Each structure stands twice: as structure tokens, then as C-alpha cells.
Structure 1
């Protein structure tokens, strides 16, 4: 049987699991996020509203692409910043560490294995992509289920108060055909809780911050790591502030988005990829030392037995050292017998 080399880890299930389990889950997640975002498969829950409600009477801020932080910019940043950060970090870790300490996974035979750099990049970016689509699904599902209105809902709805019979601001309208505005704008104005842009921004920031904090062990980075981390977190918070300032979301929507994105990022980092830590290869097994051999035949170690001649010789020396000393019989310890010189007898 071939001996397993140190630093190598055999795995015959990594490729089947990747092809038939992980890719299938990833594809299902992407399709579900697509159906939530771009189709009417899941209709939005229609909530009623009070006539002349000031919480929903803010002016219409315009389409999403006219925002100071448009969705295209948000999606580009949450994709580019973590990807570049992980690539640069893994390259630095790979070239700073010795090649003998890197863990290699054997797939088939002794010549086919995954490079540790490639394995870690695929693992971290794959988990990040999965979390990004999962965050989008959670945010879209919350918006569809709750149907909470945006601050500019009445400006997009354009209800006919006369036809609805709104005589006071306390009258609650539940009719589905109460809005006379553009149906697309009305449907978009019913998706406010939680804020998807805030959730994606915080998810990306927290994931990247945890990567920078846990992986970077270079000396002299006591100020670099907190600077990068606080900058990313501030950018994510700025997205939420802009959403509230432009009357596109309430503060409760933004805070719920922050909580959703941060919770998913922390769960994936701590429970799925084990805090980005490298798994050291198992130490080689310690073999017992073989006994010395003579002419190819191993020597058998036997217990040491004292020879009678050596015992007599030791007693003889003991008696010579105690010459001219009184001698006592074991049976009668109280009787003293004069000692005899052994040298004279010899």
C-alpha cells in the first residue's frame, strides 16, 4: 500500500459533490433570485393605506437609475470589492507561506490534486456568491410578503380621494383598484421592507471586513486593517442613508436590511468556511523504532538475569569492605560473635 505523503489529503468525493450538489444548489439559488427580481411569479401583497397619510406622502424621487447611488453602482461595488480583496489576500498568503506547509487534496491517483490557492479562492468566492444571491432572495421575499409601502407611495399611486370617499385622514382604503398611477411604479412602491440595497451593501462589507481581519496576519497592519474595515462599513451605511434621504425607504426598512445582510455574512463566515482558517495537514504517523539486527536477523530483547557467579563475587567484595566488623546471626540478633578475617581463611 502506498504511503500518504505529508501535506496531502486524499478525497474521492470532492468532484462529485461539487458537480452534483453544490452547483445544483447554486443554480437553484440564482434561478430563485431571478424569479423574485424580474418576473411576476410571486405577486406582491397589497396593503391598504390611510387617506392623506403623511408617512407615505413624500414626493416621488424618480426612477431608481436616477438615484445618487443607483442599483448598477451598488451591484458593481458589492461584486468587485470583495472579489479583488480576496484575490489579493490569497495571493499574498500563498506566496508568503512555504509550499511544503500548504494542504493539497488528491482527487485521483498521486498526480492529480487541487492547488491550495485555487481551492481557497473557489471556496471563499463561491460562498460569497451564494450568500449574495441568498441575501437578495431574503430581501425580495420580505418585500413580497409584507408589501410595505415606500415613503413616496401616494405620489406613485395617485389615488382618487373623491371617488374613494376620503372625507377624513383616518379612513382606511383597502381597494385594490384605488391607485390610478403607473402599475409598474405602484408595484415598485409596495416593495420597501427590507431595503435590498442596504442588505446587499452590508453583507458585502461585513464579509470583506471579516476576511481582512481574520486572514491578514502581517506585522505593521494595526492601522491598515481597521482603516479598510471602517471604510467599507461606512460605504455600506452611506447607501442606507441615501435611500432614506431620497424617500425611497424608511429607517425601519434600512435597519432591517442591515440586520439581514450582516446576519447572513456572519453565519456563512463562522459556520460554513470556519473563519477563513487554513486547515493544517495531519502530521505524519510516528513509527516505532526497530531493534538492532545482526546479519539481517532482528535481535530479541530479553530480561536481564543476574548470574550466581556475579552474585558471589559481589558478596565477596561486600565482606572484604566490612572486614573486622562484628557479625550477627540472623536468628539470634542479641548474641555477638567475633568476626573472622576472610583474607586469613583464604
Structure 2
């Protein structure tokens, strides 16, 4: 869903900008396409950074998920609770694979919270800097609020499904928020700024406006040229008449 929502959002922003520039008779279509591709590339880079932090923390902390006992069903008859933390146990549930049994010891932080908040925050910042429309004042904040709401709903579902503790989700949201801001303000503000596109637009507009002006000036120039011919002919006529006299 993160990749799908990101692709749809970037394309939507590009289309809205094209419509806005079409109404203003600007030509920046190729520049907008390049910026859109750069935005998706920066998103992939940030997604990889978030994945790296998430995997390192999950394997380093090794916190048990809320449904650990239901999935593992450890043999409690051979566990001595007086020893404190139990590190040696045997799962008696054979219905699940080794991957699932390893996954139940990777609760902190919530990967869904990390990726959903990273996606929502990155796209909210992208919309803030890239979407420029004059016909609606609430469209931009509506998009941003909707993305953040989807992230919070996805994160909250991990608590209601008993897949994560509340602290796991909060830590994931904070981590995703930090990674999104760090990646965007280090790369996004440099490569996705509207000033680059505006400079291209202004140069195109100058060229476009200069062509009609030259065409309009062709008629007055022809008239001036004809007038100069008439003046020269008159001067020659006056000179010949004076010689005759």
C-alpha cells in the first residue's frame, strides 16, 4: 500500500500542476515529469533507510509480541520462574513455520507504524513543496490530513489485532517521522524545489512571448521600409526638377 499510495499521490500532484500551468499557458511538462521521478527515487531511498533501522532494532531488542504465548505455547512444566527472565524454552505449537516463530520475538518497533508514518509524512512534505494550485485553498491540507489519518489507522490496527504493544507503535511512529523529515529536508528540498521548475517555465514563457512580438513588429517594419523608399524617390524627383529649372 505504501508504494501504491505513493505512486498515485505523485501522479496526482503532477496532473494537478499540469492543469494549473495549462490554464496559465506555461510549459513545464518535461520538468514536472523529471521532478516526479526524482521524488519517487528519494522515497525509495528513505524507505530503505527506514527498513534498515527497523530490522536492526527488531533483532537487537527482541521484544515478545502480545500473541507470543498463543503462537509459541511454551512448555511451562520445564520452566523455573524463580530464575527471573526465561531465555530457555521450547515452543510446543507445530502449526507455524520457523519464520513465524522467529517473528513473534520482533515486536519493537512496529514496522507497519514506521513505514506508514514515513510514507504519510514524506508525501505530506512533498505535497507542501510541490503542489501549487490557485483554485482551491483546502485541497492541499485535505490531502495531507488524509495521509496522516491513514497512517494512524494502520498503526492503531496493530494494537487492536494484538500484534504490537502500544509502546511499539508509538516508537514506530516516531522513527518513521524522523526518517521522513531527515530524508526530505536533506534531499527533497534540494531536488524537488519549485524554483528549478519555475526558472524553466520563465525561460519558456519569455521565448513564447518573444515570438509573437517579433511577428507583430514585421508589419510596422515593412511600412517603415516602404516609407523610406517613397522618401528617397521624392528626393530624387525634386533634384531632377531643380536641374531642369
Q: TM-score, normalised by structure 1?
A: 0.51
1:217 paired residue number: 132
- Give the corresponding residue for 1:204: 119
C-alpha deviations, 1:180-235, integer Å up to 9, x for none?
33443321100111111111111111111112222223224322222221111111
User: Gaps (5+ residues) in structure 1?
Assistant: 1-76, 104-114, 285-346
Please give the alpha-carbon distance, in whole angstroms, between the structure 1 residues aligned to 2:136 and 2:124: 14
- What CA distance in whole angstroms lies between the structure 2 residues aligned with 1:245 and 1:172? 27
Q: Which has the higher strand share?
A: 1
Residues 25-36 of structure 1 mapped to structure 2, 5 A cutoff: none
Alignment partner of 1:79 is 2:36: no
C-alpha distance in 1, partners of 2:185/2:156? 28
The question of whether the paired residues in 2 share the 8 Å contact of 1:131 and 1:268 is answered with yes
Partner of residue 90, structure 2: 178
The answer (yes or no) to whether the contact 1:164–1:178 under 8 Å persists in 2 is no
Alignment of 1:131-210 (within 5 A): 131-166=46-81, 171-175=84-88, 177-182=89-94, 183-210=98-125
1:17-28 to 2 correspondence within 5 Å?
Answer: none
Taking the aligned partners of 1:267 and 1:152, their CA distance within structure 2 comes to 34
CA distance, structure 1, for counterparts of residue 180 and residue 92 of structure 2: 41
What is the total number of aligned residue pairs between the two structures? Answer: 192
Which of the residues 157, 170, 176 maps onto 1:255?
170
Report if the CA contact (8 A) 2:108-2:168 is conserved. Answer: yes
Which residue does the alignment assign to 1:88? 12
- Superposed CA offset, 1:41-93 (max 9, x none): xxxxxxxxxxxxxxxxxxxxxxxxxxxxxxxxxxxx21112211212212333
Structure 2, unpaired ranges of 5+: 204-245
RMSD: 2.5
TM-score, scaled to structure 2:
0.70
Please tell me whether Structure 1 or Structure 2 has the larger radius of gyration of its CA atoms.
Answer: 1
Match of 2:240 in 1: none
- Cα gap change, 1:93 to 1:118, in 2 (>3 Å): same
Shift of the alpha carbon at 1:278? 2.5
Conserved 8 A contact 2:73-2:92: yes
Q: C-alpha separation between the residues in 2 aligned to 1:145 and 1:172? A: 17
One of 254, 265, 281 as aligned partner of 2:180? 265
C-alpha displacement at 1:95, in angstroms? 5.4
Aligned partner of 1:127 in structure 2 is 42
2:193 to 258, 267, 277: 277
* Greater fraction of residues in helix: 2
Indicate if the aligned counterparts of 2:16 and 2:133 stay in contact, CA closer than 8 A: no
1:255 and 1:185 mapped to 2: Cα distance?
A: 23
Deviation at 1:248, TM superposition (A): 0.3
Q: Per chain length, whose mean CA-contact separation is higher, i.e. which structure has more relative contact order (CA < 8 Å, sep 6+)?
A: 2
Distance 2:80 2:13 in 1: 63
1: CA distance, partners of 2:146 / 2:19: 27
The answer to whether the 8 A contact 1:91-1:117 is kept is no
1:232 aligned onto 2:147: yes
Report if the CA contact (8 A) 2:14-2:33 is conserved.
no
Contact 2:17 2:133 in 1 (8 A): no
| Distance verdict in 2 for CA 1:184–1:82, change over 3 Å | closer
Partner secondary structure for residue 194 of structure 2: coil
The answer as to 2:158 corresponding to 1:246 is no
Query: How far has the Cα of 1:94 moved from its partner?
Result: 4.2
